[in-house]
Amino acid sequence: MARPCPLCENQPLRPLRVSHVEIDTCPGCHGLWFDRGELERFPARPSARSFLAMKGQTFSRCRKSGHPVGRAEAVCPTCRSEPVRCPVCTGRLRRVVTSASPVDVCPSCEGVWLDAGAFEALGDVMVPQARASATAAAAMECSRCGVGLQVSEAYAYDGDVYCGACRPPGSVSGAAMKKGTPGGPLRRVLGTLSMWSLAVSGVVTGCAHTPGPSEVAASYAQALEENRLADASALTSVPPEARPAFLEHYGDAAVRQARAKEVREALPRLQARAPALTLIQEKEGWRVVEEKPEDAPRAALKGFLDAVEAGNWNKAWSLLSDPLRARYTPERLREDFKREPLSAERVRRARLALEGDVRVTASGAEFPVGTERAVRLVREAGEYRVAAIE
C-alpha cells in the first residue's frame, strides 16, 4: 500500500533513488521522506538522531497552513485542519527548527520529513549548536501542550509548569521570579532548571546562530499565534516604554491572528534593505538585488516630485540634500514653492526629465533639462538626495 504524503491530500509518495539510497518523494509538493537510518547514509547532512534529540521542544504543525498544534489539541486552533502525520505509523510529526531549515520528525518510527528545498539547505546546518541552543533555550515543557519553555516564559501552578497560552488563573511567572519579585511556587518548581539552563547557555556561548530575517519573521508570527506577546514584542523594534501599548493592542485574539497571517503571507516576498543595498528572499536563498545604475536616482527624484505635487512637504524635505535640509524646514519649503512663480513649471520640466537620459557618477546623478540646465542629485550615506531642481 502506497504511503500518503504528510502534507498533500490524497497524494501517495513515490520511490526515488538518490545516491544509491531509495527514499520517498511526493510528486505534488516535492517533499522527501527518509525512513529510519536513511538520512544517515548522506554524510553531508545531519543525522535523524540529532533532530530526534530536539523533538520534545517543538509543536506539531497543521497540514493546511503550517500553524503550530499543541499536544493536547486534536486540530489546529487557527484553521481547524489536522496536524501532519507520519506516512508510516500515522503518529504526529514534530516540528524541529534548525539553523538552516525546519524539519519534521516522527518520535515513534524515527523517520524524517523534509519540505521541498530543505535537503539542500541542510548541507550547511550546524546541528550540535542547534541542539545545544535548543536545550539551553527550552529547559522545560508546558504540562498541557508540550511546547519548550525558557524559565522567563514559564508559569507555575499547583506544582506544574505552563506556557503563556495555557497558564491557569493564579499562576506565577518565571519573569517575575527573575526580576526578584516573590515567586514561591515557581522558585521551587524551576529553581534547579534555571541554573541548569544558564550553565548550558555558557557552554554554547560563541557558537550561537544569529537568526536571519525570515527566521525572525517566522518566529514573530508563531509567537503571536501562540499568544506569547512578551516574546513577540522582544522581536520588534518597539521601545520599552511602548511595550504596554503593544501588549494591549495584540491582547485581542482577532487582531493577533490577523497580524500573524499577514506576516506569514509576506514571508515569500521578504526583503532586507539598507542604504545602497537590497536583498530579496528567493527559493534558493537570499540574493542581492542589482538594479540598473539609473534606477535609484530615478526613484529618488520621482519620490520628491510626487511629494511636492501631493503637498507632502515633510516627505519632500526629507529627500533634500543635507545642505538644503539645513537651510529649509518643511514649512519654509512649502512657502518658497508657493511664492516662486516658476516653481510649477520647474516641477513639470523635472517630471519630463525623468523620462530622458540620466548621467550617473560616483558622487550623484544629473537629469538634463534642455541644453544647459539639469536636475542634480547627490549621494549621501548611500542614498540619492535632491540638490537642485535646475
Highest mean pLDDT among 94-103, 124-133, 152-161: 94-103
What residue ranges define each of the domains in the chain, with the CATH number in brackets?
14-125 (no CATH), 136-204 (no CATH), 213-288 (no CATH), 295-388 (3.10.450)
pLDDT tens, residue by residue, 282-291: 766 777 877 7
C-alpha cell at 297: 536616482
Q: Which residues contact residue 166 at a Cβ distance below 8 angstroms, ignoring those fewer than 6 apart?
A: 70, 142, 144, 145
CB 5 within 8 A of CB 59: no
- Is pLDDT of 203 > 60? no
Residue of 336, 334, 345, 343 lying closest to 311 (CA atoms): 334
* Secondary structure class of 200 (helix, strand, coil): helix
C-alpha cell at 221: 508570527
Q: Which residues is 172 bridged to in the sheet?
A: 156
pLDDT of 199 reads 29
* Secondary structure class of 290 (helix, strand, coil): coil
Q: How confident is the model at residue 193 (pLDDT cuts 50, 70, 90)?
A: very low
What is the 3-class SS of 338-352, one letter each residue?
HHCCCHHHHHHHHHH
Query: What is the average pLDDT score of the chain?
Result: 77
pLDDT of 175 reads 59
pLDDT tens, residue by residue, 281-339: 776 677 787 777 888 899 999 999 999 999 999 999 999 999 999 999 999 999 999 99
**What is the distance between the alpha carbons of residues 64 and 4, in angstroms, rounded to a whole number?**
15
Dihedral of the alpha carbons of 345, 349, 351, 355, in degrees to the nearest 10: 160
**What is the distance between the alpha carbons of residues 189 and 183, in angstroms, rounded to a whole number?**
10
CB 380 within 8 A of CB 321: yes
CB 190 within 8 A of CB 197: no
| DSSP classification of residue 100 | S
pLDDT tens, residue by residue, 61-102: 888 888 888 777 888 888 888 999 999 999 999 888 776 778
Q: Which residues is 112 bridged to in the sheet?
A: 34, 105
**What is the distance between the alpha carbons of residues 306 and 315, in angstroms, rounded to a whole number?**
9
**What is the distance between the alpha carbons of residues 149 and 199, in angstroms, rounded to a whole number?**
16
46 vs 369, more confident: 369
pLDDT of 240 reads 75
**What is the distance between the alpha carbons of residues 220 and 259, in angstroms, rounded to a whole number?**
10
Q: Which residues contact residue 119 at a Cβ distance below 8 angstroms, ignoring those fewer than 6 apart?
A: 32, 45
| DSSP classification of residue 333 | H
| DSSP state string for 211-257 | P-HHHHHHHHHHHHHTT-HHHHHHTS---GGGHHHHHHHTTSHHHHH
CA 44 to chain centre: 27
**What is the distance between the alpha carbons of residues 379 and 331, in angstroms, rounded to a whole number?**
24
